[in-house]
């Protein structure tokens, strides 16, 4: 695994099969990962000179004390560290470069290049080939943008947005697009071990059972570079085996100046690291309903909620979160009444967590950098749609209302499980199909192969009702409460609970 080498554009024949004429594309949701700087285990550590953005940073500053004027302030960054005698010195790359040195976890130039190119591929497919999205936009209120609190995730979703809609495709009056974020304690765009106690217990238990005799081979290769406090390579060593894998792959994606010793690139060793890393991080999703629920279920629940909101016309498709003039919710600034495209900057553990939870990650390698999942909602144009009136978003005061107000659009269905639907509610989902593409490859959810659960002739098109029923099984009712339930109880289910059904 390193940076994704994308396939070429679909041929006309492939496009006709992937997007049948009888199905109208209604909503696209993209989750994407990115390439970033990982700490090097070499001694001394090598600083990476791959972040040219550091010479071009810009901040928005108040320039009048009454708050009436705000302007850009451009600046460059240099990173200071400890010298040999504890005096301050500038971090520098292998050739002495100081103005482009990366922070840990920062989106590198290569990461910016590949996420920009990813957005360009979205434009080629959804704008030029399919005509689903407009060529020029005057605002972005039909596009739901979301990122985790990690700066590289925000940078990646911005780069992909600019790739899809460069300045030449935005009008001169284009207002700032909305990008939704969350506080770290509320974040569900990645498996949140730090803020979900029960998930932390489960993740630790599933990781620790993955010790292997193959570790001896890894230690014979690279243990001499491990720190004194953690001299042996292990699943939970410091750095963890997954962190070593990240470092190897990040260095392979960049220049020779920052490569590790050759032992790290041993092909057998890399295969072992990849295998153990996948087992450490993702086996729980395949075997445990609780693991799926706490690790990725809230995100999948949100994505399904947006699809259901789009189908029922309830306004619960993300529109109320991104649309409206400053300080107001409701219709888009261009009159939009629904979201057509959503893009979230997340992480490789997000993508593999989603795929594993849907039974789609059995023989896959660790997701390459700049991988993406596209979850597409289609409407069968031959099926009559029941009339539905969009619901107006309403504000609701909650805890600490004086500090923060929360809003939630009213909806008939929202996250109600399919098994509790009335016949009228089920009717709202009829004629809708869901298809997931991973790195441009259509995937088929196992439970959607059953008769009546997919589009006739193509099992990759799952009925929305069937897809939601599968997701319902691991969508938490209230994630924060589920995170503190069953603490201290056995981590493994009494019998395996296969994913994707």
pLDDT (tens digit per residue) in 162-175 = 999 999 999 999 99
Q: What is the spatial distance between Cα 160 and Cα 52, in angstroms, rounded to a whole number?
A: 18
Give residue 42's pLDDT band: very low, low, confident or very high (50, 70, 90). very low
Give the β-pairing of 406-409 and 458-463: unpaired
Q: Where are the alpha helices (DSSP H) in 297-454?
A: 298-312, 319-322, 348-357, 423-427
Task: Quote the tokens at residue 89.
Answer: 């010195």
- CA dihedral 354→360→361→366, nearest 10 degrees, is -60
| pTM, entire model | 0.90
Q: How confident is the model at residue 406 (pLDDT cuts 50, 70, 90)?
A: very low
Burial class (CB in 10 A: 0-12, 13-18, 19+), 352: buried
Residue 1 pLDDT: 60
Give the length of the chain.
501
Q: What percent of the chain has pLDDT over 70?
A: 91
In the predicted model, what is the mean pLDDT of residues 298-317? 92
Q: How confident is the model at residue 362 (pLDDT cuts 50, 70, 90)?
A: confident
Least confident of 180-189, 283-292, 390-399, 413-422: 390-399
Q: When comparing pLDDT for 237 and 352, which is higher?
A: 352
Is residue 403 scored above 50 in pLDDT? no
Q: Which pLDDT belongs to residue 332?
A: 83
C-alpha–C-alpha distance, residues 239 and 11, integer Å? 44
> What percent of the chain shows pLDDT beyond 90?
71
The answer to whether residue 498 scores a pLDDT higher than 60 is yes
C-alpha to C-alpha distance for 159 and 33, rounded to whole angstroms:
12
Beta bridge partners of residue 433, listed in sequence order = 378, 463
pLDDT score recorded for residue 401: 39
pLDDT score for 171: 97
What is the pLDDT at residue 334?
Answer: 80
Q: What is residue 398's predicted lDDT score, i.e. its pLDDT?
A: 43
- Average pLDDT score over residue span 69-95: 94
Residues 374-391, mean pLDDT to the nearest whole number:
79
| Rounded (10°) angle between helices 298-312 and 464-472 | 150
Residue 43 phi, psi dihedral angles, 5° rounding: -130, 110
116-120, 286-290, 330-334, 466-470: which has the minimum mean pLDDT? 330-334
Q: What is the pLDDT of residue 295?
A: 98
Q: What is the mean pLDDT of the chain?
A: 89
Tokens linked to 351:
């993508």
């Amino acid at each position: 695994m390193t940076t994704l080498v994308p396939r070429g554009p679909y041929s006309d024949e492939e496009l006709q099969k992937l997007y049948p004429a009888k199905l109208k594309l209604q909503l696209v949701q993209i989750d994407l990962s990115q390439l970033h700087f990982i700490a090097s285990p070499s001694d001394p550590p090598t600083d990476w000179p791959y972040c040219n953005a550091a010479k071009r940073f810009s901040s928005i500053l108040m320039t009048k004390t009454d708050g009436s004027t705000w302007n850009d302030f451009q600046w460059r960054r240099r990173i200071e560290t400890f010298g040999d005698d504890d005096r301050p010195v500038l971090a520098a790359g292998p050739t002495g470069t100081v103005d482009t040195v990366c922070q840990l976890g920062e989106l590198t130039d290569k990461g910016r290049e590949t996420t920009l190119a990813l957005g360009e591929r979205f434009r080629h497919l959804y704008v030029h080939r399919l005509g689903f999205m407009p060529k020029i936009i005057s605002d972005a209120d039909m596009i739901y943008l979301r990122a985790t609190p990690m700066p590289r995730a925000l940078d990646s979703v911005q780069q992909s947005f600019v790739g899809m809609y460069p300045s030449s495709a935005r009008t001169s009056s284009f207002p700032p697009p909305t990008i939704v974020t969350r506080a770290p304690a509320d974040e569900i765009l990645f498996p949140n071990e730090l803020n979900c106690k029960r998930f932390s217990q489960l993740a630790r238990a599933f990781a620790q059972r993955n010790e292997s005799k193959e570790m001896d081979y890894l230690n014979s290769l690279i243990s001499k570079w491990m720190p004194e406090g953690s001299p042996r390579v292990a699943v939970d060593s410091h750095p963890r085996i997954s962190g070593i894998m990240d470092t190897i792959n990040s260095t392979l994606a960049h220049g020779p100046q920052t490569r590790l010793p050759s032992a790290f690139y041993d092909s057998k060793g890399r295969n072992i690291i990849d295998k153990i890393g996948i087992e450490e991080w993702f086996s729980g999703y395949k075997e445990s309903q609780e693991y799926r629920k706490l690790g990725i279920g809230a995100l999948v629940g949100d994505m399904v909620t947006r699809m259901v909101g789009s189908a029922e016309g309830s306004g619960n498709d993300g529109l109320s979160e991104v649309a409206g003039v400053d300080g107001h919710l409701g219709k888009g600034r261009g009159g939009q009444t629904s979201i057509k495209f959503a893009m979230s900057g997340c992480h490789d553990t997000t993508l593999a967590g989603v795929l594993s939870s849907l039974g789609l990650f059995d023989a896959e390698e660790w997701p390459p950098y700049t991988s993406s999942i596209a979850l597409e909602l289609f409407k069968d144009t031959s099926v009559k749609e029941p009339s539905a009136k969009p619901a107006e978003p309403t504000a609701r005061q909650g805890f600490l209302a004086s500090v923060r107000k929360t809003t939630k659009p009213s909806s008939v269905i929202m996250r109600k499980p399919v098994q509790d639907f009335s016949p009228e509610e089920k009717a709202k989902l009829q004629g809708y199909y869901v298809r997931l593409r991973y790195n441009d490859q259509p995937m088929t959810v196992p439970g959607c192969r059953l008769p009546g659960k997919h589009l006739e002739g193509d099992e990759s098109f799952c009925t929305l009702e069937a897809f939601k029923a599968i997701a319902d099984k691991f969508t938490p009712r209230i994630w924060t409460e589920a995170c503190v339930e069953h603490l201290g109880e056995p981590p493994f289910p009494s019998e395996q609970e296969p994913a994707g059904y």
